[in-house]
Structure 1
């Protein structure tokens, strides 16, 4: 496909075209499929299209077709109103955009820049995913075996079937450079959360807000853990106090974070926005009508989803959990064999051999977690959830369940079956440190090395291409007459470079990593108080490496709204409750094993555990209830906004009533002032009386 085809794909735009996102086809994509997709993007919404602008360019390095997609200002504003995007009005209040009242919003004098680049790109993605197959679309053109059914999201189908290779928004390099300088280049400064939100969207900003808040919250248990490590490691009374402190700290941390997340969401205008969700692009079913919105959307029977969950998902998940337990038992067999061998020979090599099973098991945990993530995502897709929030929550449950068993079952086995506290301490330290090192290598070093390799490869390819002067001149001449007047050479090169970057998979894995780390910190804190220290050191590095990856290594992700960390809040709270039980049980076992309660039998220890656990749980619940979810400032501002909305509604009703009364008075006055002439009629006699009809004024 020649680049000049892009010059004929849509009429010249009234305003200058700006590439907002890029859609990249696979190299061997049929011409028929490409033209069909372009036609769908251009088509009117009433005809099932997206009503967007698209121009095609051929990637000179890989020879695949790239679509540069954008939209005019009017189209973006119209979609922003339908998506209920909020902006600040002249009074400083966040409210939904309405085109009829656009002049009442700040920055409305420059409508081209009224929406941020992240909001524009979010709109483009939303409109592309709304392109659905019609009754006449039986299969993807050029692919007879890729069947379509009415209502299916075409873009999602082509992405899943590897017809579309990538779909990504372009970076704003100048803004990104300034953001990076204030973010990962300045370790001592707080993160610019509002700037992150403006550029990357609420979901990513919320994650980094949580990561920064959690890292700072780790300072008290880290300091106390260091003190206990050097002063009172074996003092059971002080360790019991440290365990109580840790679970109370976890409760306060999570409750205060909930308040902080509410502040973020209110400031960003997402606190009540995400309650109204469209169905997922990948959601499939027969086309029907949404009874709430009246809009057409797929409909899928709930009983089918429940059947898939109970008959397919649960058996597979249980099998994975059993496999994880089996791997743990194999690890213990090798560990015991290595220890027996070392006890027999007592050499430096055998001492090193004792560490090998733990190292291999730590690596096995990371590998199994990675494989299970793919299984969990496939099961979640198979269940066909309607809303993105429901999809995410079910995925979180699956990931949390498996990772919890995979990472912590060995520690529970050591603590409560073997009742070996020194082994528990060493195993927890090894698992925590090794997994954090592997995570940093896997998430930071490898993506960066891949990025450098691809960048060098592209630079060499560019040098070879530029050496072919005649060919290059011919291509540039061809493109200049059709494409470069719309899409500059710099933008086309930027799209090609960013197309080689890794795709950012979202914050799910990042939250899961923090969840597992949080478990290492609180579940067995009485056995290993230094866990918070290692977690703090890791997180300080994690903030900078994650921010560097987003700015330098990964493609720009699409902005997504959020009001909180979602189901992760519940997952962390459940971890805190389990931590109360495990720490109380550890303290009771330590008292028994150290002979501090010689006259207590098993029943007495159980009663001690239950009583202590209930007491600490009650304390955490009271502390949680004392801290309201919404700060007073947010509650006051929300009440003020609601009051203003009610007042505006009353004023509107009063104005409408006054207008109606004025119109009514004018109509009555006009009626009274207008003579109605009637022709004179002949005399008529009624009961012998002669009556003369006269002209009467009404």
Structure 2
């Protein structure tokens, strides 16, 4: 037991507070000093760091402190006999450790840190008076200290920190390792980022490996002329691609189950607890003995709200977005210069980013009025609504060229431009925008420090690692930041690519080769983005890829319809 008590995590959480004025009050009642004292009393290891414009409190924890918090949270963990039991610190040796050898996963540690720092409450019967830079605050009995300081603006942010040793190891063995194209250290990714991000990279890696088969098949069809056999080869290619997609999703479900079994399904505790709490609150509010009737009424009311919101989104797409998409497709058909077509496509992609961001914000406001059981249900509702917007944006023009004009050469040209321009533009925005945001915030902090010191000469640098992490942007979605993290944009990019190559596979088999090359690059680009460009993401529990799996299945069904239509139309016109 002594060996366990000596273990300690590195600094994993930081609290940002503004610098105090020199005219502050009594140091004994200073908010920051008082917070540091309370954090140390709670069993945390605390270190203060002074930055250019802010101060930071770094937090680490002995494993015993985390263990006591895990017991209070009633976290269930797998034991050496194969049963999941509620964690008890006194029986720590009976519980199975994580793949990296640690006792708790990153998600569990983050939950324990959150429980400890927000669990510091005023247990006295009187109000405790605190001050910060000459301003006084009252800490009421039973109130969380950190919550009070955040409401008063004393605590600016609480955010997780990168572990430098593990981050550099992942950079070396994963993000910058091009020796293995699709192989990834999934267990280490899980230990560092949590279940949700690790599941995304497991899916991306499997998708990148599996797409090699249709990419090779499509390359053969593009390089060799089968002559009169072309009318038979293309339907055979379409049948093989459809079978490939179905098998890919089925094998992914098996792999997903195996990963969850290896990762002990621990991170799902909070999701299950939130669902149970919502059910209890519903029973408490109903005030009726007929619980079944109350649940049914609440369920039907939720369905009605979702139907109303979906109707609003669909009507907006038809009335506002459809004319814009058809106008773009018509202009593309009318232009003769390839340079102008590329310019129009780039301008179009910039425009739809703006339109979709507006639609996403409207969708976020709509789902706030839906009766969703948990955050995951709200996230899935947002995914379906925003994907509907992107689906219309990405494919209406292609349907226009394929089915109305029946122009196979124009359709192929549009597909090539979409795949190249959209992928290059997306990767550029994903990596360049966070870097520019960080540089701008760094420049602003340095300039402010020079202005305060009154010195125009001399080089001022960010000396502390924690301040550099603080200035980096948060890994969040471009829309719906309060519901989804940055994986929303990454999954959306994959689904749009999958839909494009699947629904028009018969028209342009070479598209799978473009997708294979992009997916290999995407693994490294996303890894660098998470390890270098952004702060360490807050871990989220997840069992699967969620609503995105249903969208992939929907795209397979759509691809069967569109490819059958393409084969019929083009065979009638004999344009192959």
1:358 to 323, 339, 345: 345
1:269 to 260, 264, 270: 264
The correspondence of residues 98-137 of structure 1 with structure 2, limited to 5 A, is: 98-105=88-95, 114-116=103-105, 119-125=108-114
Measured after TM superposition, the shift of residue 413 of structure 1 is: 2.3
Partner of 1:687: none
Whole-angstrom distance in 2 between the partners of 1:238 and 1:158: 68
Whole-angstrom distance in 1 between the partners of 2:245 and 2:104: 39
Partner of 2:326: 329
CA contact (8 A) 1:313 1:379 kept: no
Partner of 1:175: 166
Measured after TM superposition, the shift of residue 541 of structure 1 is: 0.8
Specify whether residues 523 and 69 from structure 1 end up closer, same or farther in structure 2 by C-alpha distance, changes over 3 A only.
same
CA contact (8 A) 2:326 2:396 kept: no
1:504 to 469, 475, 492: 475
Structure 1: runs of 5+ lacking an equivalent = 1-13, 44-49, 143-150, 292-298, 340-349, 469-489, 597-698
Partner of 2:375: 388
Q: Residues 273-305 of structure 1, C-alpha deviation per residue, up to 9 Å, x if partnerless?
A: 45952339x99x9898699xxxxxxx9966775
CA contact (8 A) 2:11 2:163 kept: no
Whole-angstrom distance in 2 between the partners of 1:386 and 1:463: 50
Give SS of 1:171's match: coil
CA contact (8 A) 2:107 2:267 kept: no
Partner of 1:21: 13
Partner of 2:292: none
Give SS of 1:24's match: strand
1:256 to 214, 231, 251: 251
Partner of 2:544: 564
Partner of 1:226: 219
Partner of 1:422: 409
May I ask how many residue pairs the two structures share in their alignment? 517
Measured after TM superposition, the shift of residue 203 of structure 1 is: 0.9
Partner of 2:518: 538
CA contact (8 A) 1:52 1:70 kept: no
Measured after TM superposition, the shift of residue 508 of structure 1 is: 1.4
Whole-angstrom distance in 1 between the partners of 2:72 and 2:150: 25
1:494 aligns with 2:486: no
Whole-angstrom distance in 2 between the partners of 1:98 and 1:22: 27
Measured after TM superposition, the shift of residue 566 of structure 1 is: 1.6
Partner of 2:530: 550
Whole-angstrom distance in 1 between the partners of 2:491 and 2:529: 16
1:203 to 196, 202, 207: 196
Measured after TM superposition, the shift of residue 495 of structure 1 is: 2.0
1:186 aligns with 2:177: yes
Give SS of 1:383's match: coil
Give SS of 2:312's match: helix
Specify whether residues 577 and 28 from structure 1 end up closer, same or farther in structure 2 by C-alpha distance, changes over 3 A only.
farther
CA contact (8 A) 2:14 2:58 kept: yes
Q: Residues 221-262 of structure 1, C-alpha deviation per residue, up to 9 Å, x if partnerless?
A: 111111111113872221111111111111111111111111
CA contact (8 A) 1:41 1:53 kept: no
Give the TM-score normalised by the residue count of structure 2.
0.75
Partner of 2:459: none
Whole-angstrom distance in 2 between the partners of 1:394 and 1:595: 42
1:407 aligns with 2:394: yes
Whole-angstrom distance in 1 between the partners of 2:194 and 2:234: 43
Specify whether residues 60 and 26 from structure 1 end up closer, same or farther in structure 2 by C-alpha distance, changes over 3 A only.
closer
Measured after TM superposition, the shift of residue 70 of structure 1 is: 5.5
CA contact (8 A) 1:118 1:199 kept: no
Q: Residues 161-206 of structure 1, C-alpha deviation per residue, up to 9 Å, x if partnerless?
A: 9986533211111121112111012112321111111111111111
Give SS of 1:277's match: helix
Whole-angstrom distance in 1 between the partners of 2:9 and 2:524: 35
Whole-angstrom distance in 1 between the partners of 2:240 and 2:422: 26
Give SS of 1:503's match: coil
1:242 to 237, 249, 263: 237
CA contact (8 A) 2:352 2:393 kept: yes
Whole-angstrom distance in 2 between the partners of 1:458 and 1:197: 34
Measured after TM superposition, the shift of residue 429 of structure 1 is: 1.8
Q: Residues 45-92 of structure 1, C-alpha deviation per residue, up to 9 Å, x if partnerless?
A: xxxxx97869796853224x6454566645522432455655554457
Whole-angstrom distance in 2 between the partners of 1:170 and 1:232: 56
CA contact (8 A) 1:236 1:590 kept: no
Specify whether residues 100 and 416 from structure 1 end up closer, same or farther in structure 2 by C-alpha distance, changes over 3 A only.
same
Partner of 2:354: 367
Q: Residues 541-587 of structure 1, C-alpha deviation per residue, up to 9 Å, x if partnerless?
A: 11111111111111011222322212211111111111111111211
Give SS of 2:536's match: coil
The correspondence of residues 672-691 of structure 1 with structure 2, limited to 5 A, is: none
Measured after TM superposition, the shift of residue 22 of structure 1 is: 2.2
Q: Which has the larger radius of gyration?
A: 1
Give SS of 2:544's match: coil
Whole-angstrom distance in 2 between the partners of 1:374 and 1:100: 48
Measured after TM superposition, the shift of residue 209 of structure 1 is: 0.7
CA contact (8 A) 1:321 1:405 kept: no
Structure 2: runs of 5+ lacking an equivalent = 1-5, 133-141, 287-294, 456-461, 477-484
1:76 to 44, 47, 66: 66
Give the TM-score normalised by the residue count of structure 1.
0.63
Give SS of 2:378's match: helix
CA contact (8 A) 1:274 1:562 kept: no
CA contact (8 A) 1:265 1:562 kept: no
Specify whether residues 594 and 400 from structure 1 end up closer, same or farther in structure 2 by C-alpha distance, changes over 3 A only.
same
Whole-angstrom distance in 1 between the partners of 2:236 and 2:495: 24
Give SS of 2:274's match: coil
Whole-angstrom distance in 2 between the partners of 1:305 and 1:28: 49
Specify whether residues 432 and 456 from structure 1 end up closer, same or farther in structure 2 by C-alpha distance, changes over 3 A only.
same
Which segment is superposed worse, 452-461 or 424-433?
A: 452-461
Partner of 1:617: none
Whole-angstrom distance in 1 between the partners of 2:535 and 2:196: 16
